[in-house]
Structure 1
Amino acid sequence: MRSRTASCCCGQLRIEVHGEPLGVGVCHCLACQQRTGSVFAALAAFAGPYAVTGAASEYVRTGDRGASFRFRFCPVCGSSVFHTEEGDEGAPVLVAVGAFADPSFPPPQDSVYDCRRHAWVQLPAEVTAFARDPT
């Protein structure tokens, strides 16, 4: 089974995941825009188990539908690396695609909160866009 390692910019915080992503998507919600400092977040979902090395700072926020998400980022360089949903032990871990530093990483299949997508951001035709979160 293939493994991949994602890390922060300075390399202090790492997560190793196994297998192919369950899904890859982009999120245009305003919280993701503020969290990443970009106009969208690119995320890949992986089933457990996974291994984390290094120290992480954490931030918990509540999404539009009431679920809470725990974001982990490097306390040294500030890079956002991964997050999980609170209270759902079986939920996949969501890893920032850019943290893999792999230009050959699979492209997104889905785009959520497309209602908040910047007009100049163009997505490939095969990406399924949802005005909000479909789940």
Structure 2
Amino acid sequence: MTNRVASCSCGQLRVTCEGEPVRISICHCLECQKRTGSVFAAQARFPREGLTMEGRSTQWTRRGDSGESATFHFCPMCGSTVYWEPHGLPGFVSIAVGTYADPGFPPPHVSVYEERQHPWALRAHQLPLEHEF
């Protein structure tokens, strides 16, 4: 069985995930854009029973563009959002894909709120590679 570990930037808040996610998606909603500081968010959804959370988290609950609420857990030391619990999906937890720091993580299969997508957001693969900064 696959085990993956997601963590905040400083490593204090961690989630060990047993098994494969039931859904991997990207979200273009305005709230995810504000939460991530990016033009979209990538998340993996897991059944809660396969997860082990370690470390301290600060929680914040907000209503999303869908009208549903979610409670977000972020590290009180470095501020990274690691996971959240969507109130409309009891028994499931969403984890920010970037917290795995794994370029081999499976790709998303769902994209939501595309009407709020930045027109250039999914064309990054077409940019030329820049080897010098």
TM-score by length of 1: 0.85
* Structure-to-structure mapping, 1:1-135, within 5 angstroms: 1-49=1-49, 50-86=51-87, 88-90=89-91, 92-122=92-122
Aligned partner of residue 122 in structure 1, secondary structure: helix
d(CA) in 2 for partners of 1:113 and 1:85?
Answer: 17
Name the structure where helix makes up a greater proportion of residues.
Answer: 2
Runs (4+) of structure 1 exceeding 2 A deviation are: 63-66, 86-90
- How many equivalent pairs are there? 123
Cα separation, partners in 2 of 1:104 and 1:12, compared to 1, 3 Å:
same
Work out the CA distance in 1 between the residues paired with 2:80 and 2:41.
Answer: 13
Q: RMSD between aligned alpha carbons?
A: 1.6
Q: Report if aligned partners of 2:58, 2:74 keep a CA contact under 8 Å in 1.
A: yes
Given the superposition, is the C-alpha separation of residues 38 and 87 from structure 1 closer, same or farther in structure 2, using an over 3 Å criterion?
Answer: closer
Shift of 1:88: 4.7
Over 3 Å counting, the alpha-carbon distance change for 1:87 and 1:41 in structure 2 is closer
**5+ unaligned residues in a row in structure 2: which ranges?**
125-133
TM-superposed CA distance for 1:56, in Å, is: 0.4
Q: Distance in 2 between matches of 1:23 and 1:87?
A: 15
Secondary structure at 1:44 match in 2: strand
- Which whole-Å deviations, capped at 9, do the CAs of 1:102-123 have from their partners, x for residues lacking one? 0000001011000111111126
Contact 2:30 2:65 in 1 (8 A): no
Q: Distance in 2 between matches of 1:16 and 1:31?
A: 26
Tell me which residue corresponds to 1:131: none
Deviation at 1:64, TM superposition (A): 3.2
Deviation at 1:3, TM superposition (A): 1.2
Q: How far 1:47 sits from its partner (Å)?
A: 1.1
Name the larger-Rg structure. 2
